[in-house]
């Protein structure tokens, strides 16, 4: 059996200290966890993806990096739609806390739209959703994300008839 994953192994010293403190803080709060059972097999599902890498299409509004420079405790809490078929040539990554070189070179590193299409071709999933979702993961104040952005994304997913969502961090 492989050893359990060390959540802190790849983090630099400062980030490791912060994450340990946050894990302790979260562990003191227990919330009921929502649950929706699968209604159909994955091979029949429309699948949407969500990235936290702060990806925005070049024909869309960028994430607000200037706002974060003015107030480093703030991160842009809005979201962007990313159409199926979008590639690294069509986007920029605006997350200032991650190394964006990799996702900028190959979007599938953070938002695997081509891989999803391949799994659909192979019959493992039903089909990619027409639209996918991007947020910027640096959110110390979470109120807007929780009360405005997440419900807007959820409403859009329902309206588009999406069956399941996979969330990919950055």
Partner 1 sequence: MGLVQRVIEARGIPTVSLSMIPAFTRAVGVPRLAGIAHPLSRPMGRPGDAQGQRAVLRALLGVLESALAPDAYVELPFAWPETPAQARKGANVHPPIEQLLMKKPWLLPRLYSGSIPEGN
Q: Which of residues 29-58 bind partner 1 (CB under 8 A)?
A: 30-39, 41-42, 45, 47, 50, 52
Residues 6+ positions from 164 with CB-CB distance below 8 Å: 38, 42, 45, 46, 47, 48
Nearer to partner 1, 59 or 158 (CB): 158
Nearer to partner 1, 24 or 59 (CB): 24
Least spacing, CB of residue 143 vs partner 1, in Å? 10
Q: Which of 55, 82, 91, 125 binds partner 1 (CB under 8 A)?
A: 125
Tell me: does residue 121 bind partner 1 (CB under 8 A): no
Give the Cα separation of 132 and 51 in Å (integer): 8
Nearer to partner 1, 82 or 135 (CB): 135
Distance in Å from the first CA to the final CA of the chain: 27
Beta-carbon count within 10 A of 47 CB:
20
């Amino acid at each position: 059996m492989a050893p359990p994953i060390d959540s802190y192994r790849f983090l630099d010293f400062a980030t490791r200290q912060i994450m340990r403190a946050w894990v302790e803080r979260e562990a003191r709060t227990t919330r009921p966890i929502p649950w929706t059972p699968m209604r159909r097999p994955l091979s029949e599902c429309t699948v949407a993806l969500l990235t936290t890498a702060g990806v925005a299409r070049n024909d869309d509004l960028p994430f607000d990096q200037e706002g974060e420079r003015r107030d480093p405790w703030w991160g842009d809490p809005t979201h962007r739609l990313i159409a199926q078929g979008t590639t690294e040539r069509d986007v920029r990554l605006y997350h200032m806390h991650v190394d964006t070189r990799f996702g900028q070179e190959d979007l599938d590193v953070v938002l695997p739209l081509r891989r999803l299409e391949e799994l659909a071709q192979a019959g493992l999933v039903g089909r990619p959703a027409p639209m996918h979702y991007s947020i910027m993961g640096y959110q110390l104040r979470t109120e807007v994300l929780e009360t405005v952005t997440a419900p807007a994304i959820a409403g859009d997913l329902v309206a588009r008839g999406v069956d399941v969502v996979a969330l990919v961090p950055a």
